[in-house]
Amino acid sequence: MSVDRLSRRAFLKRSGLALAALGLGAEAGRAQEQAEFSFIAMNDLHYLDEKCAEYFRGAFGWIKANAQYDFALVCGDLATAGKVEELQGAKDALAPLGKPAYPVMGNHDASAGNQSWLQAFGPDRVNYRFDHQGWTFLGLDTTDDGKSSGVAVGQATIDWIRQTLPDIPAERPLVAFTHFPFGELVPLRLTNADEVLALFDGHNLKHVFSGHFHGLSERKHGNTVLTTCRCLSFSRGNHDGSPEKGFYQCHVKGDELAYEFVEYKPEGR
């Protein structure tokens, strides 16, 4: 699949002259040139019971030993039926990664109402941002209660984006992570994906990581890469029929981001 080939391309390099042309000061230019870090992005854990907990102990133990990451993005559907005990189980399962895990809500997480999500993760994990080495990451709520198709990003999230972007320098590299996909022709795509992406016009949106569709996809919207990934779940399979489970390993250098799919194979399988 082309996504694997594209994800393995070497990092592109930008010269200091190109940064200067963007109107960056010398200090900001140096910060972007020096940025170098790794993170992982996963989706659709669908935590259900102790069998899932056992699976994740193996998966996250393997990731901790083998992957490179300063933090993890978790693109929704941490739970199966939106129960607080499932969400808490997923949260506890992520803890052995030993680094911050940043989740966003999926439709399964909201299927029993978002009170369970708020109880497990709090209101600061609905729409939020965090910064890392000159990059900004935006966790966006794309759910409409428990609906799984025909979903549009709600007005609260659109308003939050509009309120947040003016405080972010236009040249700063951005990554958004969501549950519902944005890529054109990807199954279960958001019905107002283009409208939401247009909110980022004039900003340096590099990548949108999403889930919900359990399968590899890569699309482009201008200079923005839009992806989904195979699920990392014990209880669910992939929608594209592929047997592999895994996550994206991501590397940032300067103001460029490269990524590749990494398969997790449980021991003994």
Q: What is the pTM of this model?
A: 0.88
- pLDDT at residue 189 in the model: 98
Check: CB of residue 261 under 8 Å from CB of residue 41.
no
Is residue 191, in this structure, part of any structural domain at all?
Answer: yes
- pLDDT at residue 31 in the model: 55
- pLDDT at residue 12 in the model: 35
Is residue 13, in this structure, part of any structural domain at all?
Answer: no
- pLDDT at residue 113 in the model: 78
Number of domains in the chain: 1
Check: CB of residue 137 under 8 Å from CB of residue 103.
no
Tally of CB atoms within 10 A around 241: 8
Is residue 12, in this structure, part of any structural domain at all?
Answer: no
Q: How many residues does the chain have?
A: 269
- H helix intervals, 41-97: 50-66, 84-94
Is residue 268, in this structure, part of any structural domain at all?
Answer: no
- pLDDT at residue 111 in the model: 86
Is residue 22, in this structure, part of any structural domain at all?
Answer: no
Residue 175 sits in a domain whose CATH number is 3.60.21.10
CA 98 to chain centre: 18
- pLDDT at residue 2 in the model: 40
Measuring CA to CA, which residue among 191, 251, 193, 256 is closest to residue 221? 193
pLDDT < 70 stretches in the chain: 1-33, 268-269
Is residue 24, in this structure, part of any structural domain at all?
Answer: no
Distance CA 80, CA 89 (A): 11
- pLDDT at residue 267 in the model: 77
> DSSP assignment, residue 95?
G
Check: CB of residue 195 under 8 Å from CB of residue 182.
no
Q: Which domain holds residue 163?
A: 2-7+30-263
Is residue 16, in this structure, part of any structural domain at all?
Answer: no
For the chain, how big is the Rg over CA atoms in Å?
18
Distance CA 224, CA 220 (A): 6
- pLDDT at residue 130 in the model: 98
Is residue 183, in this structure, part of any structural domain at all?
Answer: yes
What are the contacts of 11-20 at 24+ separation with CB within 8 A? 11/251, 11/253, 11/254, 11/256, 11/258, 12/256, 13/254, 13/256, 14/254, 14/255, 14/256
What is the secondary structure of 131-198 as a DSSP string? EETTEEEEE-----TT--SS----HHHHHHHHHHGGGS-TTSEEEEE-SS--STT-TT--TTHHHHHH
